[in-house]
A and B are shown apart, each in its own frame.
Chain A
Amino acid sequence: MTRIWWAQIKAVVRLEMRKTFFAKRGLWIYVVAALPVLLFVAYALANSRFHHRIAEIAQQGEKRLAYQDLLAVKTGMTREELFAILGKPPESFRWTEHRTSEGTTEGKSETKATSDVLHEDYHYADGVNELFVGLADNKVQSINIREGSNPGQDSIMFAGVFQFFFLRLAIFFGCLGIFMNLFRGEILDRSLHFYFLAPIRREVLMAGKFLAGLLATCTIFVTSELLQTIAFVWHFPPSLRGVYLYHNHFLENAAIYLGVTVLACVGYGAFFLVAGMMFRNPILPAAAILIWEAINPFLPGLLKQCSVIYYLKALCPVNIPSPSDTPPVLALLISNSDPVSAPVAVLGILIVAMIALYASSVQVRRMEINYTSE
Chain B
Amino acid sequence: MSDGIVFEDVSKFYGEILGVNRVNLSIPPGITSLVGPNGSGKTTLMNLMTGLVKPTRGRVQVLGYRTDDPEHLFKILGYSTQFDAFPKGLTGFQFIYSYLRLAGRDSHSSEQLAWRVIERVNLVEAAKRNIAGYSKGMRQRIRLAQALAHDPKVLVLDEPLNGLDPLARSEMIALFRATAAQGCYVIISSHILHEVDVISDQVILLSNGYVVAEGPISTVRGEIQEHPTQILIRCTRPRELAARMLEDELTVEVSIHKDERGLLLKTRDADRLYLALNQLALQGIDIESIAPADDDVLSLYEYLIGNEEAVR
The interface of chain A, by Cβ under 8 A from chain B, is: 4-5, 7-8, 11-12, 14-15, 18-19, 22, 186, 189-191, 193-202, 204, 365-366, 368-371, 373
Complex contact A191–B103 (CB within 8 A): no
Stretch from B2-10, B69-77, B195-203, B234-242 forming part of the interface with A: B69-77
B221 within 8 A of A: no
- Cβ of B303 < 8 Å from any Cβ of A? no
B102 touches A11 (CB 8 A): yes
A14-B110 Cα distance, complex, nearest whole Å: 15
Contact B98 A11 (CB under 8 A): yes
By beta carbon, the residue of chain A nearest B147 is A197
- B53 contacts A14, CB within 8 Å? no
With A191-B87, A197-B74 in contact, do A14 and B52 touch (Cβ < 8 Å)?
A: no
B124 to chain A, nearest CB (A): 22
Q: Which of A186, A201, A369 contacts B47 (CB 8 A)?
A: A369
Choose the segment among B78-86, B115-123, B304-312 that binds chain A (4+ C-beta atoms closer than 8 Å): B78-86
> Which residues of the partner chain B approach A7 to less than 8 Å between Cβ atoms?
101, 104-106
Contact, CB under 8 Å: A200 / B52: no
Q: When the two chains form their complex, are residues A199 and B72 in contact, meaning their CB atoms are under 8 A apart? A: yes
Extra A-B contacts (6), CB below 8 Å, given A8-B103, A194-B99, A198-B102? A18-B89, A191-B87, A197-B52, A201-B70, A204-B71, A368-B54
Chain B residues within 8 Å of A14, by CB:
98, 101
- Bound CA span A198–B86, Å: 14
Instruction: Give the Cβ gap from B134 to chain A, nearest Cβ, in Å.
Output: 14
**B40 contacts partner chain A, Cβ-Cβ < 8 Å:** no
Interface pair A200/B70, CB less than 8 Å apart: yes
B71–A201 touching, CB < 8 Å: yes
Question: A369 touches which one: B52, B84, B103, B146 (CB < 8 A)?
Answer: B52
Contact partner of A197 (CB less than 8 A), chosen from B79, B84, B89, is B79
List the A residue with the shortest CB-CB distance to B47.
Answer: A369
Residue from A18, A191, A196 within 8 A of B70 (CB atoms): A196
Say which residue of A4, A15, A22, A201 sits within 8 Å of B87 (CB atoms).
A15
Q: B88 on the interface (CB 8 Å rule)?
A: yes
CA distance A106 to B75 in the complex (A): 115
* B140 in the interface (beta carbon within 8 A): no
Closest to A201 in B: B71
- B88's partner among A189, A200, A373 (CB-CB below 8 A) is A189
- Considering only CB atoms, which chain A residue lies closest to B79 in the complex? A197
Question: Are B14's CB and A370's CB within 8 A?
Answer: yes
Tell whether, in the assembled complex, residue B101 and residue A199 are in contact, meaning their CB atoms are under 8 Å apart. Answer: no
B114 CB, min distance to chain A CBs, angstroms: 13
B side interface size, CB within 8 A: 34
Q: Is the CB of A199 within 8 A of B88?
A: no
Chain A residues within an 8 Å CB radius of B104: 4-5, 7-8, 11, 199-200
The reply to whether B99 and A198 contact each other, CB–CB distance below 8 Å, is yes
Q: In the complex, which residues of chain A have a beta carbon less than 8 angstroms from the beta carbon of B51?
A: 196
B50 at the interface (CB under 8 A from A): yes
Q: A11-B98, A190-B83 given as contacts; is B52 within 8 A of A199 (CB)? A: no
Specify the chain B residue showing the minimal Cβ separation from A198.
Answer: B102
Chain B residue, CB-CB nearest to A11? B101
The secondary-structure label for the interface of chain A is: helix
Q: Does B70 lie within 8 Å of A199, measured CB to CB?
A: yes
- In the bound complex, residues from chain A placing their C-beta under 8 Å from that of B79 are 197
A369 near B98 (CB under 8 angstroms)?
Answer: no
Is A198 a contact of B103 with CB atoms below 8 Å? Answer: yes
* CB-CB nearest in chain B for A6: B104
Which residue of B is nearest A5, CB measured?
B104
Q: Beta-carbon contacts of B242-273 to A below 8 Å, as 1s and 0s?
A: 00000000000000000000000000000000
> Are A195 and B102 in contact, CB atoms less than 8 angstroms apart?
yes
Please give the distance in Å from B154's CB to the nearest CB on chain A: 13
Report whether B98 and A15 are in contact in the complex, using a CB–CB cutoff of 8 Å. yes
B111 in contact (CB, < 8 A): no
Contact between A199 and B73, CB atoms less than 8 A apart: yes
Question: Which A residues are CB-close (under 8 A) to B296?
Answer: none
- Contacting pair A368 B70 (CB below 8 A): no
Q: Which of the residues A5, A199, A366, A369 comes within 8 Å of B75, measured between beta carbons? A: A199
The reply to whether A368 and B102 form a contact with Cβ atoms under 8 Å apart is no
CA–CA, A39 and B88, complex, Å: 35
B69 to chain A: closest residue by CB: A201
* Pairwise interchain contact B53-A368, C-beta atoms closer than 8 A: yes
Q: How far is the CA of A196 from the CA of B85 in the complex (A)?
A: 13
- For the complex formed, measure the closest distance between the CB of A134 and the CB atoms of chain B, giving whole angstroms: 66
Given the complex, which residues of A lie within 8 Å of B78, measured CB to CB? 197
Pick the 8 closest A-B CB pairs, nearest first: A199-B74, A11-B101, A4-B104, A198-B102, A190-B85, A369-B52, A191-B85, A368-B53
Q: Which of B185-228 contact A (CB under 8 A)?
A: none
Given A11-B102, A19-B88: A197 and B146 interface contact (C-beta under 8 Å): yes
Q: Determine the residue in chain A with the shortest Cβ distance to B68.
A: A365
Residues of A within 8 A of B88 (CB): 19, 189, 191
When distances are taken between beta carbons in the complex, the residues of chain A under 8 Å from B54 are 366, 368
Q: With A and B bound together, what is the CA distance between A14 and B73 in angstroms?
A: 24
Contact present for B86 and A368 (CB under 8 Å): no
Q: Interface readout for B55-68 with A: 1 if CB under 8 Å, 0 if not?
A: 00000000000001
Interface pairs (9), CB distance under 8 Å: A7-B106, A15-B98, A186-B87, A199-B102, A200-B103, A201-B70, A365-B68, A368-B52, A368-B53
CB distance from B150 to the nearest CB of A (A): 8
